Amino acid sequence: MKLYHMPAAPNPRRVRFFLAEKGLQVPMEEVDIPSGANLAPAFLAINPRGVLPTLQLDDGTVIDESVAICRYIEGLHPEPNLMGRDPLECATIEMWQRRMEFDGMLGIAAAFRNSAPAFAERANPGTAPRAAQIPELAARGLEQARHWMAQLDRRLQESPYVAGARFTIADITAFVCVEFAKWVRVRATEEQRALAGWHARIASRPAASA
Ligand SMILES: N[C@@H](CCC(=O)N[C@@H](CS)C(=O)NCC(=O)O)C(=O)O
């Protein structure tokens, strides 16, 4: 298998973090999004959707959603478990993972894509229709990102990890979102100490820098 990724981009980072937690090394190839390499014929021949991360299996099968890639890896390499062992734990971890993605990632991405000069005519990712930036969407995304961060801090006041007592994929998504939020200058406030403490603990994991 081969993972197509871009070192700085948040979604590929989630998958690299996940693989590193599993202790796995997968062949990787970099695809540069700002220069449009993900939209060039060579990459579209692999994934016509033009997005990263993209995992290509040896038989040519392509999987291009971060969590779907992680689900596949978890199936092949169940330990250390990052996505749950029984129905309730699986559901709880998925709930928190989705909350991080929908409440955090989407707002941050909207803020970034609707304001970064490099994406002036590329407010949609991949081969989705080319679209101009909408400043109101950037402003709304910033509000969503700040609200999500406050909710995350509240969650971490009551729980050591995002989905409960142990480290899971929900922490990976949340951590990458907190890092991604810096791109739009959204950071934890001084009062959000639970979030800051959790962030330092996650950052100290060797896999966090994968
Ligand atoms: N829901 C997808 C999102 C994938 C995505 O949007 N990835 C970005 C990089 S973080 C991308 O490929 N952007 C391509 C572009 O901007 O043209 C996932 O979770 O993997």
pLDDT digits (tens, 9 = 90+) for 69-102: 999 999 999 999 999 999 999 999 999 999 999 9
Give the model's pLDDT for residue 168.
Answer: 98
Q: Give, using CA atoms, the residue closest to atom 2 of ligand 1.
A: 65
Q: To which H or E segment does residue 158 belong?
A: helix 135-158
The pair phi, psi for residue 191, each rounded to 5°, is -75, -20
Q: Residues with Cβ < 8 Å from 12, sequence gap 6 or more?
A: 3, 5, 6, 52, 53, 66
The answer, yes or no, to whether any atom of ligand 1 lies below 6 A from the CB of 71, is no
Whether residue 162 contacts residue 195, with contact meaning beta carbons closer than 8 Å, is answered with no
Q: Quote the mean pLDDT of the chain.
A: 97
What's the chain's Rg over C-alpha atoms?
17
- Residue 123 tokens, joined: 């407010």
Where are the domains positioned within the chain?
2-76, 87-209
Class of domain 2-76 as given by CATH: alpha beta
State the closest ligand 1 atom to the C-alpha of 126, by its place in the atom list counted from 1: 17
Angle between helix 87-99 and 169-181 (nearest 10): 10
Give me the DSSP letters along 29-83: EE--TTTTGGGSHHHHTT-TT--S-EEE-TTS-EE-SHHHHHHHHHHH--SS-SS
- Residue 72 tokens, joined: 């596949």
The answer, yes or no, to whether any atom of ligand 1 lies below 6 A from the CB of 108, is no
CA of 11 from ligand 1 middle (Å) equals: 6
Q: Give, using CA atoms, the residue closest to atom 1 of ligand 1.
A: 65
**Predicted structure pTM score:** 0.97
CA of 162 from ligand 1 middle (Å) equals: 23
Which CATH code, of 3.30.530.20, 1.20.1050.10, 3.30.420.480, 1.10.1380.10, is assigned to 87-209? 1.20.1050.10
Q: Give, using CA atoms, the residue closest to atom 6 of ligand 1.
A: 125
Q: Mean pLDDT, to the nearest integer, of 103-132?
A: 94
pLDDT digits (tens, 9 = 90+) for 25-34: 999 999 999 9
The answer, yes or no, to whether any atom of ligand 1 lies below 6 A from the CB of 141, is no
